[in-house]
Structure 1
Amino acid sequence: MLNLKAKPFNEVLAETPELKVNGEWLCLNIDARTAWPTKPQAFTFEGHQVWVMPLTTDNYPGLAANKPPDMGRDECFALLHRALSVLAWLQDTGAVVVHMSGGNLPRMMGMRQPFGYAIRDDFDLSDLPVIGYASGKLALALMREGRGLNHPGYSFLSFFRALETAILDGKVRGAWVTENIDRLDGHRAKDALDKLKATVQGDIGKHLRESGRHAIAHAQADPIINPDDPRDARRLEAELPIIEALAVLAIEDHLGIQTRHKAWQEHLYELRGWKSILPAAVIEASLAAEPDDIQANIDLPLINFRLRRSEPFPLLEGMMPVHVGLNNRRVELGYRSADGLAELIFWLNFAEERLEFDLNRSFNLYDDGSAAAARNCKERCRFIWDYFGNGEIQIWHADTGKLISRVDAFIPLNMMANFDGHVAELAAWDKFIANREQAEASAG
């Protein structure tokens, strides 16, 4: 069970040696619009290490980085802003930078009332999107800004600017809005669109542009948004979900940056890494009902088979490939542990874009009577407990440290967790291991 609790900032620093390294630290202090972690997290962004600074009892949360000597301060702050925009995009939320700070340590600014915030254990930072073009970075920055602002007019303008960034040509953009307005997803956007259609005759896109974007940005000709007129604020607030959803859809369609929900729907992350490892001929053969015999040189990597949020299982680190074949329109992969006493089998279903793992068939142990074999049994017991507890499989390249594949959380059905029973089972394995170790010592 998660024990989520915000701690004092100095206690967080004391528990994290990496954050006590002297340097030129730069920090973004933010007003989060989503649940924020209570512990620090390091991740790599655009080739640099960035830290998620947790929500504490006395300081703002945010992001921090120890500035490399060859990077300017503004360049480093810009890096942190871009990282924040990507995090906000993946959480479908906004974030407002309240202060920029720094020092020889990652010193976050004090917050008078650090209460009322939602908290979480961590962010899943294992598979961040790589955005290599300026328009994509700007679009996500505008989305973060629009979702973070507490002002319907300026939020509307930020979302419209994100739409403009995704589709530069005005005529093309107008035609796209007209053609795609009914594709909007989410009940807020759909409800807002239905209400708007009931009151506005003609082109919805033209209305959003002239009565929204132009009316906010200009004050020389009607229509004009008047900050003193509550009717204008109510109208913009009502139409805000529409322009936000249009901006999101345009970013997906024209810039190719998926939302978290879209990525989950397609789940391409399950097999993405294997597509660059396996020859195309093998993948194509796995899709055929009766594949032809093929000859292919396949250089399978050593892998670390892990569960997110769980400590690595030594038994499943540095596993060696021992088998690859085709089975029931799937590529079947077999891996063996370094001690040769455990074997993993899993299947790559390219037709469904799924990595298939069946605990009853996939995780096999061999008992040679040694204490090592008994320790493996305890490791398997620990793996099963964590896997049934919504474990998320991650397969990492053991040599490069790159993520090859990941699978969403396992959801057990018709099962009840028995923690006391699990603890008793681990204790029984400890006793069994001790007996074998004693027998080996006596025999030696």
Structure 2
Amino acid sequence: MLATDDPFELAERYQNQRGQWVVGGLETQVFWPNRPQFIRFENLDFLLQPAVVDGQHRSLPAIAIRANGFGLTVNEGRAAVMRLATAIAWRESKKVDIVMWGGGSSPFRVGRMLNNAITEFFSDENLHVPQSEEARKALAYYREGLSLGNPFYSFLGFYKAFARSLPNGRERGPWIEHALLRMTDREAISRREELQAQGDNISEYLATQGRHAIAHAEREDIVDPDDPDDHQRIHLDKPLMRHLAELAMDERLGVPPPSSYEGEHLYELEGFRTLFDNEQLGALRRGELAQGREYMLPDDFYVMARKGKSCVHLGGMRMTAGGMDQGKLGVRLESPNGKVALEFWMDFRDERLIIDPIGGCVLLNKKRESRSDIQSEISLEQFKFLLYCNGSLEIWSADRERRMGKSEAYMLPANWSPDFAGHQRTLTGLNELLQEMPEIGDDPQ
């Protein structure tokens, strides 16, 4: 997708294409978009369909793909839908259960809606693409654990994800003993302490009183589906088994936990890092430039601010200055018409894209001699206020095909607040001027 692509407009066009559609109806606890939305995953195009309640017609939220558009069979299309469902479940740590399949020449709706949460916009950030078949299978088992309502089979799903990560059964006990010391999940830690207080060997307990007791009906020490105590015990064990699966998948299969995306925020400078070699990056991570090395940045970028479904485009901007500033690589961009300037800083020591919309995003002159002047001023006003409202700055390549960097959601400094009433008055005045400005002979923006 390009930086300027609207995922809702793309969805409208995509769902009108005829072909061999595969549709997976969902029961999910994830906040699902409340209108059709287009997303791309594994270089495939997907349609997220909302739940629909229209009189007597009720349908499930769904993931759809036009399989033949990518040379896929129906079964291959279903597998692709499953992989996306797994990536969403992993990121959100919530149930995403495919309960019904449909399809045809169009993405026809399926099923009957139950209890599902909705949102105006579904983020396609941080959807993990597994790098091995073992990782893919472990993630699939993990989604199964999240999605099953029965506590016994949910526990088994997490155990299978764990076992796939540690296929050598003899290795699991010692590994668990060490992993218990580095757990971070509060529910898992609480259950660990309860079991330790009872004197249980946790690795043995999870295998015999959990996995084996659930899977083997011929044993004496089975879990009883009609015993509420067994239901409660396994319900309490689930967070512990789930967290151990997460730790094992991270360590052995290279599946980072979703929390690491925000914790390590490597996305902030992801595209910029590819511009430099290891020697250059090593120096930047020390807050300096490598001696005798030239650092080259593109001349042109595309700039926008985004928060959920809302985005404001400053458009194409040219680099006019750059250099090190207190250990950070600073860049100044200006709009082609010389109206707007934006400064940002790249701190490779902490993997941060730093912005200052208050002082580092400015109007260079107050000329209002053309529609371009006024439109630039309107865009800047909207751009800054979207950032003030916890928006993120996104820097893209000039062709809008690759995101170079994205800041975290901007937080206003303490004891400072924007003038929202003044913002609205300014926009009203600028739009009135724009309407009065003739279009003939106007210079391009």
Deviation at 1:225, TM superposition (A): 2.1
1:388 matched residue in structure 2: 388
Closer, same or farther: CA 400–380 of 1 in aligned 2, 3 Å: closer
Q: Aligned ranges for residues 200-215 of structure 1 at < 5 Å?
A: 200-201=199-200, 203-215=201-213
* 1:403 aligned partner, one-letter code: R
Match 1:354 to one of 352, 355, 371 = 352
| 1:29 matched to 2:21 | no
- Find the residue that maps to 1:318 and give its secondary structure: strand
2:85 corresponds to: 84
What does residue range 102-141 of structure 1 map to in structure 2 within 5 Å? 102-111=103-112, 114=113, 116-141=115-140
1:215-263 CA deviation, whole Å, 9 max, x = no partner?
2122333432232333322221121111011111111222222222222
Once the two structures are TM-superposed, the CA of residue 303 in structure 1 deviates from its matched residue by 2.4
- 2:145 alignment partner in structure 1: 146
Q: Which amino acid aligns with 2:73?
A: G
Alignment gaps of 5+ in structure 1:
1-11
Contact 1:304 1:396 survives alignment (8 Å): yes
- Whether 2:298 is the aligned partner of 1:300: answer yes
- Measure the CA separation in 1 of the matches of 2:132 and 2:400: 25
Report the equivalent of 2:315.
317
Which is worse superposed, 137-146 or 301-310?
A: 301-310
Q: Counterpart of 2:68 in 1: which secondary structure?
A: coil
Aligned to 1:197: 196
Of 306, 324, 327, the residue aligned with 1:329 is: 327
Task: Report the secondary structure of 2:316's partner residue.
Answer: coil
Give the stretch that moved more between structures: 156-165 or 211-220.
Answer: 211-220
Larger strand proportion, structure 1 or 2? 2
Q: How far off its partner does 1:104 sit?
A: 1.5
Equivalent residue, structure 2, for 1:74? 75
Q: 1:55 to 1:307 in 2, by over 3 A?
A: farther
* Deviation (angstroms), 1:364: 2.9
For residues 16-55 of structure 1, what are the alpha-carbon distances to aligned partners after superposition, in whole Å with 9 as ceiling and x for unaligned? 2431221111111011122222122211112210111112
**What is the aligned counterpart of 2:46 among 50, 54, 59?**
50
Q: Is the 8 A contact 2:10 2:37 kept in 1?
A: no
115-124 or 51-60, larger mean C-alpha shift: 115-124
For residues 440 and 81 of structure 1, do their structure 2 counterparts lie closer, same or farther at Cα, with a shift above 3 Å needed? closer
What corresponds to 1:9 in structure 2?
A: none
Q: Compared with structure 1, are the counterparts of its residues 283 and 325 closer, same or farther at alpha carbon in structure 2 (3 Å cutoff)?
A: farther
Quick one: structure 1 residues 290 and 179, their matched pair in 2 at CA, closer, same or farther if it must change by over 3 Å?
Answer: closer
> Counterpart of 1:132 in structure 2: which amino acid?
Q
1:423 aligns with 2:401: no
C-alpha change, 1:255 and 1:332, in structure 2 (3 Å) is same
Query: Helix, strand or coil: the match of 1:320?
Result: strand
Q: 2:305 and 2:361 mapped to 1: Cα distance?
A: 14
- Counterpart position of 2:244: 246
Instruction: Tell me what 1:375 maps to.
Output: 375
Aligned amino acid, residue 195 of structure 2: L
Q: Following the alignment from structure 2 to structure 1, what is the Cα–Cα distance between the partners of residues 11 and 267?
A: 33
Percent sequence identity is 26
Shift of 1:115: 5.9
Structure-2 separation of matches of 1:227 and 1:321:
66
Compute the displacement of 1:166 (Å): 1.5
CA 134–40 in structure 1, closer or farther in 2 if over 3 Å, else same = same
Secondary structure, aligned partner of 2:59: coil
Cα distance between partner residues in 2 of 1:163 and 1:129: 18
Residues 52-99 of structure 1: per-residue CA shift (max 9 Å, x gap): 111221210020001125211101100000000001111111211110
SS in 2 for 1:227: coil
Task: Find 1:262's aligned residue among 260, 264, 272.
Answer: 260
| Structure 1 residues 291 and 138: alpha-carbon distance in aligned structure 2, compared to 1, 3 A threshold | closer
Q: 2:98 aligns to what?
A: 97
- The one-character-per-residue Cα deviations of 1:369-395 (angstroms, maximum 9, x if unpaired) are 332223211111111121111212222
Any idea what SS the aligned residue of 1:361 has?
coil
**Stretches of structure 2 lacking an aligned partner (at least 5 in a row):** 1-7
Shift of residue 432, structure 1, vs aligned partner: 4.0
Deviation at 1:209, TM superposition (A): 0.8
Aligned-partner Cα distance in 2 for 1:37–1:212: 37
Q: How many equivalent pairs are there?
A: 426
Contact 1:196/1:239 (8 A) holds in 2: no
1:271 aligned counterpart, secondary structure: helix
Tell me how far 1:281 sits from its aligned partner: 4.0
Query: In the TM superposition, what are the counterparts of 1:6-21 in structure 2 within 5 Å?
Result: 16-21=12-17
Greater CA drift, 304-313 or 64-73: 304-313
Native 8 Å contact 2:126 2:261 kept in 1? no
Distance in 2, Cα, partners of 1:270 & 1:278: 15
1:287/1:330 contact within 8 Å kept: no
- 1:193 is matched by which residue type in structure 2? R
Give the SS at the match of 1:49.
strand
Once the two structures are overlaid, the 10-residue window that deviates more, 36-45 or 14-23, is 14-23
- Kept in 1, the 8 Å contact 2:91–2:128? The answer is no
Confirm or deny: 8 A CA contact 1:126 1:403 kept in the other structure: no
Q: 1:362: Cα distance to partner?
A: 2.4
Query: What is the match of residue 404 of structure 1?
Result: 404
